Amino acid sequence: MSNVSFHEYSKLDAAQKAALLRRSETDISSFIEKVMPILEAVKTEGDAALARFGRELDKADVSEATLKVTEAEFDAAFSLVEPEVIKAVEYAIRNIRHFHEEQKPEAMWMKEIRPGAYAGDRFTPIQSVALYVPRGKGSFPSVTMMTSVPAVVAGVPNIAIVTPPAPDGSVDAATLVAARLAGVETVYKVGGAQAVAAVAYGTQTIKPAFKIVGPGSPWVVAAKRLLAGVIDTGVPAGPSEGMIFADDTVHGGLAALDLLIEAEHGPDSSAYLVTHSRRVAEEALAALPEHWARMTEQRVKFSREVLTGKCGGIVLTSSDEESYEFVNAYAPEHLEILSKDPFSHLSHITEAAEILMGLHTPVSIANFCLGPNAVLPTSRWARSFGPLSVTDFVKRSSIGYVTASAYPEFAKHAHELALYEGFSSHANAVSPVRDVYLKKGS
């Protein structure tokens, strides 16, 4: 396994360390150029462009008349999906709903800032949201659950899923099952950049949304970037990335097992094992062949490309402190802390979208059914963004209320500041002129 990328962190110079932070879609300039005409076509042609791109780009049997999933297609999906899979979806949705209901902010709060003066926040649902569910390298009912449940919990009245169709023009059956069980029954057979354009501009069939959330390919990332002035593009979620932090209390074979979780998503994924233990690193290398032997051929191909390329492999550090340095610099989407005492490391990790603790919390459990959202910021956006949540589906309004008894003191200070900044109308509104009108109205 000498072809697996192996880096001794303390021996790298600044440029080499910076290269380890690179993701596959960091430079999407080539996609920007390809996406622009797609967006323009959808804007001007609507459904006709969506159907054409579905046939040309997705190689799918779709037409303008079949862009929306029918009730019959939803019903049929439940007979196509194995009962055990449906039970797993139901189990996951219960946990995801429980977590997000706990996360939901109270509808309004107000506190007395000074005697007689109150201020607070009010939260109301975003009125229209689109959920992007990818399909290119697999089917993802898990993404459907992770995006649909918090939107429903938040009370969004208009929720639509956009997802690429299969060659026969169908939508993944488990995705439809997950959507219905989560409480969403508007699904469109549209993917890629054209899907982002459709929900941004609207078409004859698809109503425009105020926001779109969900992970996607570089095509989707490029479209979101170009349309950020038209639609809120939410958490910046691109190709998958995982990092396994392992100390010397664990077996490297376990670290290798979990390293492959995100690596198998596709060749544009990123996956690193970081450890200061050479034993752990060597055990991980030795275990990879037996793990690959249990995987499907396609997933082996994907994960090999990641682990032998520029966006994955093993990073051997000289200490836990150096491992923390790399983790925080990388700001991974998914981070596992593999240790018999994971909480001893937690306070040292400040830059990660998801932190999974201990030997029994692999990314698999979090991705599917633990409860916290698995739609996470990628490409170092974990430095300023968090996971998708109920709060991504509500908007916050500030609330203020000043009573008559509290008004004079506030007016005095506001008047001084308004004059200093040169705003005469601001000043007049809290001057004796207001007092005259207040007396007239009493």
Query: What is the per-residue pLDDT across 311-354, written as a single tens digit (0 to 9) for each?
Result: 999 999 999 999 999 999 999 999 999 999 999 999 999 999 99
pLDDT band at 441 (very low <50, low <70, confident <90, very high): confident
Is 333 an annotated catalytic residue?
A: yes
pLDDT band at 442 (very low <50, low <70, confident <90, very high): low
| Alpha-carbon gap, residue 324 to 250, rounded angstroms | 17
Which position among 7, 100, 276, 334 bears the catalytic label? 334
Chain centroid to CA 388: 5
The pLDDT of residue 176 is above 50: yes
**pLDDT tens-digit map of 253-307:** 999 999 999 999 888 899 999 999 999 999 999 999 999 999 999 999 999 999 9
Question: Residue range 226-234: average pLDDT?
Answer: 95
The pLDDT of residue 1 is above 60: no
51, containing H or E segment: helix 47-56
Residue 244 bridge partners (DSSP): 273, 336
Backbone φ and ψ for 189, nearest 5 degrees, come out as -85, 70
Cβ-count burial 268-300 (b if 16+ within 10 Å, e if not): bbbbbbbbbbeebbebbbebbeebbeeeeeebb
Tell me if residue 125 falls in helix, strand or coil: strand
The pLDDT of residue 25 is above 70: no
**pLDDT tens-digit map of 188-200:** 999 999 999 999 9
Question: Residue range 37-62: average pLDDT?
Answer: 96
Residue 172 · residue 123 · CB < 8 Å: no
Calculate the alpha carbon distances from 287 to 163, 258, 306, 369 in Å.
36, 11, 17, 27
pLDDT band at 14 (very low <50, low <70, confident <90, very high): very high
**pLDDT tens-digit map of 376-412:** 999 899 999 999 999 999 999 999 999 999 999 999 9
Q: Please tell me which residue, 239 or 157, carries the higher pLDDT value.
A: 157
Q: Does domain 6-24+239-372 have CATH number 3.40.50.1980?
A: yes
| Alpha-carbon gap, residue 351 to 384, rounded angstroms | 9
Residue 386 · residue 355 · CB < 8 Å: no
* H-assigned helices in 183-336: 192-201, 218-226, 252-263, 278-292, 297-307, 320-330
pLDDT band at 138 (very low <50, low <70, confident <90, very high): low
Residue 240 · residue 261 · CB < 8 Å: no
Which CATH number is 29-112+126-235's, of 3.40.50.1980, 3.20.20.10, 3.40.50.300, 3.90.1150.10?
3.40.50.1980
**pLDDT tens-digit map of 59-69:** 999 999 999 99
At 268 the pLDDT is 86
Q: Which one-letter amino acid corresponds to residue 264?
A: E
Calculate the alpha carbon distances from 145 to 73, 150, 179, 433 in Å.
18, 9, 7, 57
At 238 the pLDDT is 74
CA-wise closest residue to 96 among 145, 51, 131: 145
Average model confidence (pLDDT) for the chain?
95
Residue 114 bridge partners (DSSP): 117
At 137 the pLDDT is 62
Range(s) of the chain covered by CATH 3.40.50.1980? 6-24+239-372, 29-112+126-235
- For the ranges 50-54, 56-60, 97-101, 353-357, the lowest mean pLDDT is seen at 56-60
Is 334 an annotated catalytic residue?
A: yes
Which position among 25, 73, 264, 333 bears the catalytic label? 333
